[in-house]
């Protein structure tokens, strides 16, 4: 069952993704030496490898994104680049399936030495995902063959091994499960299960981290020395100008907390077996990929014993450790979680990749449990914590996403660690897959994105005015007149009284939201998302019309979140809004106090490509203008805040 996004807010962004972002990213990968590393490894050219030991993964994620984009935008130019890169990978890959340019070039014959830190399995994972996506979207097996050789190498080298043979950055598990689903080759499933089940069972983990950290350091120093020698013996060699790293405002105790987290295993989610992990800890992208993989494994193997820990972890994240944008990761040093209610807006790391990882997890949880709250959080993170990562131009990105920025964080064309851009591109390209799901007698509409879907029992066409207006029209065309349930997700941001649903013009009743016992840390609560089943005998041309009133909704943080008393976050529909200096010249956006009664939403077709902005007055009668948080940083250096004094 596939769906195609046809118009509206997301269609525009997906066009920018396919026409601009993906080509820009390839230019940056070439310009920073990342692709050249494969040419050096293949022996095509002489040169010196540039970039982090995990740089290969950025090229693989690009290939994954390009493969997914190709399905809807079969550009010959894109095909040429993909084919040439695939051929290069075939030359660079060693005959036994191993491919990791850092070792191949600098430490020939060495492999799998620092699994917790040097990302070998993470890189192979992104290669395997690219192979699966390429096959799914082109039907070709040339890249899939490379991916399978890599996967078979890993099965050969790791299946049956114990706790000391797990990856420090989860990803390979997702890749192997995706590969299993298209090949039905059991060893891939077993390998993924082993990597998941073996986590958190090494009593000497701290010692292995100390050893590996020191080995990584000495290997890094050796590479630096080799580079100096290479430059000396190759006077014409011009080292690539690697981009800058991202800037993030950090609390004082960052390094100490990183070491504590790393040595305890929490940074890597290696502190306990996965069924005992019920609190989100450590690096937030690693965390999100692990939870995604566990959810995929639970579905694939029908192993329900994983579910309680998944549900408790999700609850704890939403209740205590997530920003109002849906961003996760409070500590820049860890690129990960702090303590409960530790949600400082200035320090907010909330990496773009972490939001994407959480969205992947939420999609799997929605399929695993059938509960609407997961698709509610998916929507909220999509529109806010993830969408903020790509500029309107498709060629500028944010890596960490503070909720208050007093300067120093701005969109960049690339980063020294460019993990987010192609992660966004591959997710945008696949967005259609997250709108619907169906079974033999049910269709679920998870997202209100304009699209068309063949659900087998019926085709569905959605025309949605979200996020600017609340009108959604759904045309249902059953393959033959038949009875089934069409399940609409009623979003947490719209109460029953604000939701109007008609079926062929007949008004249907909608019950009010039930009150939650305890409020979340951020004031946004996906647990209010619920399903609205319409069970009937459908006939061709049936029309469901929804109208979500989209009042401005003020979110207030839990009293345990320091520094937020007397502040509100302004939201409307699925969007979080913010004050950006560009729209509020001469105003102190951090010190102003808003007259909340004065807030009103206004369509402004001339602002940022046409948006609904929110205007209001300060207590002293001055005008303040709010824009969607995901659009800040599109107009040069600026300051911004999503939390405002009331």
For the chain, the maximum distance between any two Cα atoms, rounded to a whole number of angstroms, is: 80
Q: How far is the CB of 419 from ligand FUB (least distance, A)?
A: 4
Q: How far is the CB of 50 from ligand FUB (least distance, A)?
A: 16
Nearer to ligand FUB, 335 or 376 (CB): 335
Do 58 and 420 touch, CB atoms closer than 8 A? no
List of residues contacting ligand FUB (CB under 6 A): 54, 169, 285, 335, 351, 353, 417, 419
Is position 561 an interface residue for Zn ion (rule: CB under 5 A)? no
Residue 290 interacts with, from ligand FUB, Zn ion, none (CB under 5-8 Å by kind)? none
Among 296, 353, 356, 398, binds Zn ion (CB under 5 A): 353
Distance CA 111, CA 190 (A): 22
Nearer to ligand FUB, 92 or 354 (CB): 354
Distance CA 404, CA 409 (A): 10
Region at 38 (left for phi over 0; alpha for psi -120 to 50; beta for the rest): alpha
Do 554 and 596 touch, CB atoms closer than 8 A? yes
Nearer to Zn ion, 55 or 353 (CB): 353
Nearer to ligand FUB, 351 or 580 (CB): 351
Which of 371, 210, 197, 355 lies closest to 275 in space, CA to CA?
A: 197
Instruction: Give whole-number Cα distances, 101 to 194, 299, 300, in Å.
Output: 26, 34, 32
Coil vs helix vs strand at 366: helix
**What is the enclosing helix (H) or strand (E) of 72?**
helix 56-72
Is position 624 an interface residue for Zn ion (rule: CB under 5 A)? no
DSSP 100-152: -HHHHHHSTT--SS-TTTS-HHHHHHHHHHHHHHHHHHH---HHHHHHHHHHH
Residue 525 interacts with, from Zn ion, ligand FUB, none (CB under 5-8 Å by kind)? none
Coil vs helix vs strand at 274: helix
Do 599 and 570 touch, CB atoms closer than 8 A? yes
Is position 328 an interface residue for Zn ion (rule: CB under 5 A)? no
Nearer to ligand FUB, 290 or 458 (CB): 290
Nearer to ligand FUB, 149 or 411 (CB): 411
Q: How far is the CB of 417 from ligand FUB (least distance, A)?
A: 5
Q: Which of residues 73-112 bind Zn ion (CB under 5 A)?
A: none
Nearer to Zn ion, 297 or 419 (CB): 419
Do 290 and 343 touch, CB atoms closer than 8 A? no
Residue 171 interacts with, from ligand FUB, Zn ion, none (CB under 5-8 Å by kind)? none
Q: How far is the CB of 150 from ligand FUB (least distance, A)?
A: 18
Q: How far is the CB of 174 from ligand FUB (least distance, A)?
A: 13
Instruction: Give whole-number Cα distances, 75 to 12, 60, 401, 422, 432, in Å.
Output: 17, 19, 32, 18, 19
Nearer to ligand FUB, 192 or 419 (CB): 419
Nearer to ligand FUB, 10 or 289 (CB): 289
Q: How far is the CB of 424 from ligand FUB (least distance, A)?
A: 13
- Point out the residue whose Cβ comes nearest to Zn ion: 353
Q: How far is the CB of 248 from ligand FUB (least distance, A)?
A: 11
Helix axes 419-429, 22-31, angle to 10 degrees: 150
Residue 417 interacts with, from ligand FUB, Zn ion, none (CB under 5-8 Å by kind)? ligand FUB
Distance CA 568, CA 576 (A): 11
Interface stretch with Zn ion, choices 27-35, 352-360, 365-373, 462-470 (CB under 5 A): 352-360
Distance CA 501, CA 491 (A): 13
Please state the length of the chain: 646
Q: How far is the CB of 243 from Zn ion (least distance, A)?
A: 14
Nearer to ligand FUB, 202 or 335 (CB): 335
Q: How far is the CB of 24 from ligand FUB (least distance, A)?
A: 19
Distance CA 260, CA 241 (A): 34
Residue found under tokens 């390839």: 26
Q: How far is the CB of 434 from ligand FUB (least distance, A)?
A: 21
Binding mask 403-432 toward Zn ion (x if CB under 5 A, else -) reads ----------------xx------------
Residue 169 interacts with, from ligand FUB, Zn ion, none (CB under 5-8 Å by kind)? ligand FUB
Contact residues for Zn ion, defined by CB under 5 A: 353, 419-420
């Amino acid at each position: 069952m596939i769906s195609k996004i046809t118009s509206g807010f997301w269609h525009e962004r997906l066009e920018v993704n396919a026409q601009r972002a993906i080509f820009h990213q390839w230019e940056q990968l070439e310009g920073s030496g990342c692709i050249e590393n494969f040419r050096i490894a293949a022996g095509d050219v002489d040169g010196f490898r540039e970039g982090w030991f995990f740089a290969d993964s950025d090229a693989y994620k690009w290939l994954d994104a390009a493969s997914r984009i190709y399905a809807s935008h079969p550009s010959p130019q894109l095909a040429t680049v993909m084919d040439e890169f695939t051929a290069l990978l075939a030359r660079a890959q060693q005959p036994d399936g191993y491919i990791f340019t850092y070792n191949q070039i600098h430490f020939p014959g060495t492999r799998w030495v620092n699994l917790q830190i040097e990302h070998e399995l993470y890189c192979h994972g992104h290669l395997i995902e690219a192979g699966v996506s390429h096959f799914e979207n082109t039907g070709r097996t040339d890249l899939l063959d490379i991916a399978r050789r890599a996967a078979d190498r890993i099965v050969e080298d790791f299946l049956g091994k114990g706790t000391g043979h797990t990856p420090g950055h989860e990803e390979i598990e997702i890749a192997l499960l995706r590969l299993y689903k298209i090949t039905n080759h059991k060893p891939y499933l077993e390998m993924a299960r082993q990597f998941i089940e073996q986590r958190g069972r090494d009593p000497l983990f701290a010692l292995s981290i100390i050893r590996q950290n020191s080995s990584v350091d000495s290997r890094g120093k050796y590479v630096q020395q080799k580079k100096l020698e290479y430059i000396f013996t190759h006077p014409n060699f011009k080292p690539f100008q690697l981009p800058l790293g991202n800037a993030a405002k950090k609390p004082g105790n960052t390094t100490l907390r990183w070491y504590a987290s790393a040595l305890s295993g929490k940074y890597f989610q290696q502190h306990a077996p996965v069924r005992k992990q019920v609190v989100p800890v450590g690096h937030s992208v690693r965390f999100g990929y692990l939870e995604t993989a566990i959810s995929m494994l639970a579905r694939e193997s029908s192993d329900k014993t994983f579910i309680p820990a998944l549900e408790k972890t999700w609850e704890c994240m939403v209740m205590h450790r997530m920003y109002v944008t849906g961003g996760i990761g409070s500590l820049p040093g860890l690129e990960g979680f702090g303590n409960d209610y530790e949600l400082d807006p200035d320090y907010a790391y909330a990496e773009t990749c972490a939001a994407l990882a959480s969205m992947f997890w939420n999609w799997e949880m929605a399929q695993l449990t059938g509960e609407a709250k997961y698709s509610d959080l998916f929507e909220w993170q999509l529109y806010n914590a993830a969408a903020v990562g790509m500029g309107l131009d498709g060629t500028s990105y944010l890596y960490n996403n503070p909720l208050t920025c007093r300067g120093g964080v701005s969109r960049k064309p690339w980063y020294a660690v460019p993990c987010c851009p192609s992660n966004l591109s591959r997710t945008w390209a696949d967005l259609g897959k997250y709108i619907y799901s169906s079974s033999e007698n049910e269709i679920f509409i998870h997202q209100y994105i304009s699209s068309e879907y063949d659900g087998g029992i019926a085709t569905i066409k959605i025309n949605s005015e979200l996020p600017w207006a609340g009108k959604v029209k759904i045309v249902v065309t059953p393959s033959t007149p038949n009875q089934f349930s069409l399940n609409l997700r009623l979003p947490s941001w719209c109460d029953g009284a604000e939701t109007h649903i008609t079926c062929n013009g007949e008004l249907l009743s909608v019950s009010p939201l039930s009150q939650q016992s305890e409020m979340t840390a951020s004031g946004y609560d996906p647990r209010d998302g619920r399903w609205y089943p319409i069970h009937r005998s459908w006939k061709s041309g049936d029309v469901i019309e929804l109208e979500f009133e989209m009042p401005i909704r003020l979110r207030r943080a839990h009293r345990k979140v320091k520094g937020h008393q007397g502040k509100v976050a302004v939201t409307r529909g699925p969007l979080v809004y913010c004050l950006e200096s560009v729209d509020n010249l001469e105003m102190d956006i951090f010190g102003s106090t808003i007259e909340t009664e004065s807030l009103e939403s206004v369509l402004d077709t001339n602002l940022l490509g046409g948006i609904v902005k929110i205007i209001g007055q300060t207590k002293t009668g001055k005008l303040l203008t709010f824009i969607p948080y995901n659009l800040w940083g599109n107009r040069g250096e600026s300051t911004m805040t999503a939390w405002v004094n009331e």
